[in-house]
Chains A and B, each alone.
Chain A
Amino acid sequence: MFIATESIPSSFRGFTLIMPAVSVGNVGQLATDLIISTLGMPRVGYIHTDCLIPMAGNDPYPTCADDAAELSTNAEVYCLPDVKLAVLQIRAPFVQRKSRKFRKLILSWIKSSGFDRTVVLSSSHAYQRDDQQLLGAPLRYLLSPVLEQEAGTQLNTLEWKEIEQVSAFPGINDSDKRLYIPGGGITKGLYTDGCSEGIKMAVLLIFCSEGDNIPDAFALVNYLNDWLHLVDKPVSVPQMLCLCDRLIYHVLTSIMSRDV
């Protein structure tokens, strides 16, 4: 259940919720950490549940020594009311056989809090891609039917690729297709439940392998940022070089003019 700390906005009505799926390489969780720390989001509450293995640690996003003494738990909610954004971070795996209960709990919280849309950040085993999934960038998306109506055209303009369904019986019968997200944890279950309950839900995922998954997290957050514009795009390297050139030119000309 959601338990608020003191400084809570009255409701999450109309907010966008971003949450990770505990999945291969922990990419969704890393990406969520990146969003919380980049936007400097304050904590507004906890998801306190028996579905997650208990863990505790000091503040993972300290900016000064005092912050480091803040205790963090296994599932916390962060929020920026100005931009109507809430982020749920999950820091522990599920207790065995409790992931279904967790899905139900999260979906009922999403419904009762009045979130406008939910974005699930996830990942899937790169080595289990089929031929068509090997083509192009490793990033894919999925939209629930209700969100498809609203955001489908916008995502089309971004030229994003929807995750390809794979054959249920490869080599025997290629007409039976199914949604398959190996290594995605609760991603598929959450998405299918979200669809059937009419929740506006998007899944953004990256195909990856385990290792140093920080670059995957950056790629996933950039992908999300192309859609939601959480932060301004940084200046690209060629643009930066161009700026540097101009700066050097100015410095040189000013020095030369002084000499003269």
Chain B
Amino acid sequence: MLKTKIDMDKKEEILKLANKYRWELGENLHDSILESIYSDASNITNKVVSKIGEKPKFDWDRLIDKLVTGKLTGFPIMFLLLALVFWLTISGANYPSQFLSWILIDNVHHYLKMFSQFLSFPNWLSGLLIDGAYLATAWVVSVMLPPMAIFFPLFTLLEDFGYLPRVAFNLDFLYKKVGAHGKQALTMSMGFGCNAAGVVATRIIDSPRERLIAIITNNFSLCNGRWPTQILIATIFIGGAVPNYLAGIASSAAVVFIALLGVSFSFIVSLFLSKTLLKGEVSSFSLELPPYRPPRILQTIYTSLIDRTLIVLWRAVVFAAPAGIIIWLVANISINNISLAEYFINWVNPFGLLIGLNGVIILAYVIAIPANEIVIPTILMLTVLTNNITGFGSGAGVMFELDSVQQTEYLLRNSGWSLLTGINLMLFSLLHNPCSTTIFSIYKETKSVKWTLISTFLPIVLGILICFLVASVWNMI
């Protein structure tokens, strides 16, 4: 019905008028519109909303705020709460982890093998599917699931209560110095649980530049999958290098040192990024401190399990199964009776030794990219494969872990590992590319190949440099 044809004269007229108004209104149109929206809104609320007395609830908020951001009480409360979360995660995850591992790796794996024999599967098929794909997936699930299922709900509860924004408020001055956002403290702590979840959690930072910094540096938080590696290697090599009565203290101090080193790297790299690559990106700081409210426990547990734990776990599984197949293949395909793995290890070994590691470790980090959890099992399998040591493991391409630390130590020391290898493995475990789950999450969050590549290769270049420097200094002394 209303077909309006604007003839050219009218169009010109309208455009002229529009231009005239734009000149008159000036550049701050957005400001004036918002100002009038707010004043209209407050006029309406004044008319229709009646307040009954004073809100007593607010005083509670002020009291809690005084405690958690107080000069004397702020930091102790923060450390205690974070320590409690970590302690609950580590000690609480132990039993379900062992239980899952007992079921999935010891039993189901065994029965699957028997079943495949019963169906007279060819060797390569059962190896590929059961020793490769199934075992890698089972390993990732059993090591990853329990700590995440405990850590994420706890963290989300603190967030829901309103405490975490106060932590960001307390620590903002540190992050301001390196050009980052106070909320990076939260995504960093989240990274201690899982880097992929940490990367997803950077959504809470609304300023684009600060968010990119938080994403790229999240990998410097020693994640769940890397703690066991650190503890095992520190116990064997650092604990073994000092007198017996100091072993426990020295090895745990070494692990804490590595974690703190990661934190300082995240600060240094943040500073570097904000001064160079990210200099021109938009920055808009703001930090809302929502009112405290009783956490909705059941809902929180449900959503954090669905939104965080299961999504991350699913992404890990998607990558773990094909990686398991590749791990099995490189150990089992041989040319002239030498497996692909051995070819690669021999070829890369000189470089590995140059940076104080060895070929086995480098291959393990390449093929165990889906999850840091399977690095140690892969290293053990490859060590047995290349050194022809008998009596350990259950065949080429089948990842395993040993029941006792002594056995692991015996195996590694007999394959030419030294204290330097141990130290550098700890360093490299901190400073290497993020796992494929995290890389995928970074791509999903940034939608940019450039930033994904930078977050992948920046830590690995740093790791190689640091390991090389340590090895050089070590060889000189």
Chain A bound to chain B: no
Contact residues of A with B, CB < 8 Å?
A: none
Contact residues of B with A, CB < 8 Å?
A: none
